[in-house]
Structure 1
Amino acid sequence: MGSIRTLNGDIDASQLSVTYSHDHIYCIPPYWAERQDDDLLLDDPTASERELADFYQAGGRAIYDATAPDYGRQVVAVAEMAKRQQVHVIATTGFNKGFLWSSKRPGSTQTFADWIESSSIDALVEHVCHEVTTGIEGSHYRAGVVKCGTGYNTISPLERKTMEVIVRAQQCTGAPMHSHTEMGTMGLEQAQIFRSLGLDLSRLCFAHMDRNPDPWLHRQIANTGAFLSFDGMSRIKYYPEHVRTQAILALCKRGYQKHILIGGDFARKSMSAHYGKGGLGLKFILADWRPRFIAEAQEEGLDGEALLYDFLVENPARYFAFG
């Protein structure tokens, strides 16, 4: 199946075990720091590490940390936490979405937008590939995923440029590829662009598919060969949890269970059990959502345990493996 690149070394895919496929551990996004939106700053390393410890205690063994450079990635600190807590953490390189790029790059007077606009595609590809093959920001820690993203119902010219960069980086390195979709929009439009660039879409995961719980859309995305990330568990502000579960089960009833990945997109202090907000914590999916999903799947005549093994173990092992 191949190897998976974690912050603390490459491992065989069979070693990955129970995996969250989209979360954030410790990050200080410059866009939100400039606007003093404290809830979106996971800036306490002690609290973040306690969340990792809870995750391990609940049975979790691996996390894809989807924090791109433009979202305040803190790779050295996260790698050290991961090692202490015996959790495999897979880091990302690349880009998030365009509205974040008005902020300055760390250690630079340039904004992310200025850098992307003024740099050639070749130079950006070289930069991203370096973070996969050599190291991130002068460290020896390497990224195991390449990432891009687009906005709500729109793809800006700069976002289109980063999409090409990340496809080329994926093709050069063999790394798995993650694409952010704002509120679950533009997935099919992204797929069309990726296909025109020659991407093997089986190497790709579309994030936030449950923000747009449209069974027809989900089937069309799965038909491209890509993975779908359902990563909004506990966000009742969008809709009841049952809606997400039904969207997942609708895919499973059509035979698409091998395309589903699970995560929490844990990214706010208010989601945390240790940042003083009294939140549900990083353990929520394994400790609380999992038994509910099993019960709802059983009500629909499906084996929830078997499905979760696919979502949390088998599918991540295939998706995160280089190839």
Structure 2
Amino acid sequence: MNHPAPPTLRTVTGDLPAGSVTGPALAHEHLVLDLDHRGDGAAVLDPARHTTAVTAELTSLREEFGLGLVVELTCRGMGRDVRALARIAREARIAVVAATGWYYEPFHTPEIDGSSVEELTDTLVREIAGGIGTTGIRPGVLGEIGSHGDTPTAPEAKVLRASARAALATGLSVATHAQLGRGGIAQLELLTGEGLPAHRVSIGHQDLLDDPAVHEELAASGAYVAFDTVGKDGYQSDGTRLRLLLALIEAGHADRVLLSCDISRHGYLLDEGGQGYGHLFRSFLPEVRAAGVDDELIDLMTRRNPLRFLTGARVEEIRA
């Protein structure tokens, strides 16, 4: 009798059996980034200046909480540097999954305007199959595929459709950027309209949208609901995030939750007085536990769900 191959993660240092990740994951982070359109240098994680601090934080989280995996969603036009990601992964001894795709329209790269959905799909498939640039490092997820507003713009819709087709062609999953939590249902409709199963989709930044009905609709469809800006109090309080998360759990959808902090500027690093990548573990999850959520559900949301999202695995294929 033939048994299916165990689910595998594609990381910046090579393929990894999903079952070898025994600690929690951060499902939406940035370790290297450049979104500096204002010229103030704030929305930057520079590999030359900030990698030491990033690596130190991740190492500490591995030692203290068993952090095993970071899903790094810096894609085309966002300052992606997969060689730097590989160095961080090796030095911190943490698996890192790199991404491909395009962010929301203000950060689109020039080829989008003049390319069809088919041409953009081919660009993504080539990168997934052959590696990013000349590095040989292959992305393990499509993301963070962006839109802003309740309905994606025409270029954003084109990118979402291309991402869905590339995901179907390569077996990867799609993580989105829904600006301020808006437009997630429209994103999912576009992605699934191309034939991508909802369980291969994570809708981003839903903790910024105070609308439990939307969260429940996304989760009921089978998509993952990302509460991935934990600690960013300038956008939303963690108290509100906790209320929204508990509502989703109470509705029976803990198996659709992804959690992370989305560190997207150097001022968020511990080294610079920010909340750091560990805010989820040090501050937010203790509040979740205090609200009555047990360790089995914490493990589901922080480890098994990210692994299932990335690989498309069934619940029983990722060990409790």
Scaled by the length of structure 2, what TM-score is found? 0.90
Map 1:99-114 to 2 at 5 A: 99-101=106-108, 112=109, 114=110
Quote the Cα distance in structure 1 between the aligned partners of 2:282 and 2:127: 34
Q: Tell me the C-alpha RMSD between the 2 structures.
A: 1.5
Secondary structure class of the residue paired with 1:267: coil
Q: Which residue of structure 2 lines up, in the alignment, with residue 104 of structure 1?
A: none
Secondary structure class of the residue paired with 2:270: coil
Q: Which residue of structure 1 lines up, in the alignment, with residue 87 of structure 2?
A: 80
Quote the Cα distance in structure 2 between the aligned partners of 1:281 and 1:196: 37
2:54 aligned with 1:58: no
Q: Which residue of structure 2 lines up, in the alignment, with residue 321 of structure 1?
A: 311
Question: 225, 234, 238: which is aligned to 2:235?
Answer: 238
Cα displacement (A) at 1:153: 2.7
Task: Tell which deviates more after alignment, 117-126 or 137-146.
Answer: 117-126
Check whether the contact 2:199–2:312 (CA below 8 A) recurs between aligned residues.
no
Cα displacement (A) at 1:273: 1.0
Task: Tell which deviates more after alignment, 54-63 or 66-75.
Answer: 54-63
Check whether the contact 1:208–1:231 (CA below 8 A) recurs between aligned residues.
yes
Secondary structure class of the residue paired with 2:33: coil
Residues 136-178 of structure 1: per-residue CA shift (max 9 Å, x gap): 1111111000122111334111111101110110000010111
Quote the Cα distance in structure 2 between the aligned partners of 1:190 and 1:318: 20
2:100 aligned with 1:93: yes
Check whether the contact 1:67–1:91 (CA below 8 A) recurs between aligned residues.
yes
Cα displacement (A) at 1:36: 1.4
2:225 aligned with 1:228: yes
Map 1:6-21 to 2 at 5 A: 6-17=11-22, 18-21=24-27
Residue type at the aligned position of 2:102: F
Cα displacement (A) at 1:207: 0.6
Q: Which residue of structure 2 lines up, in the alignment, with residue 293 of structure 1?
A: 288
Cα displacement (A) at 1:254: 1.3
Q: Which residue of structure 1 lines up, in the alignment, with residue 30 of structure 2?
A: 24
Secondary structure class of the residue paired with 1:162: helix
Q: Which residue of structure 1 lines up, in the alignment, with residue 77 of structure 2?
A: 70
Secondary structure class of the residue paired with 2:213: helix
Cα displacement (A) at 1:322: 5.4
Secondary structure class of the residue paired with 2:282: helix
2:43 aligned with 1:40: yes
Quote the Cα distance in structure 2 between the aligned partners of 1:262 and 1:80: 24
Q: Which residue of structure 1 lines up, in the alignment, with residue 120 of structure 2?
A: 124
Cα displacement (A) at 1:122: 2.5
> For structure 2, which runs of at least 5 residues remain unmatched after alignment?
1-5, 314-320
Q: Which residue of structure 1 lines up, in the alignment, with residue 317 of structure 2?
A: none
Residues 6-29 of structure 1: per-residue CA shift (max 9 Å, x gap): 111111111223101001012223
Figure out how many residues of one structure are paired with residues of the other and give that number: 302
> For structure 1, which runs of at least 5 residues remain unmatched after alignment?
102-111
Scaled by the length of structure 1, what TM-score is found? 0.89
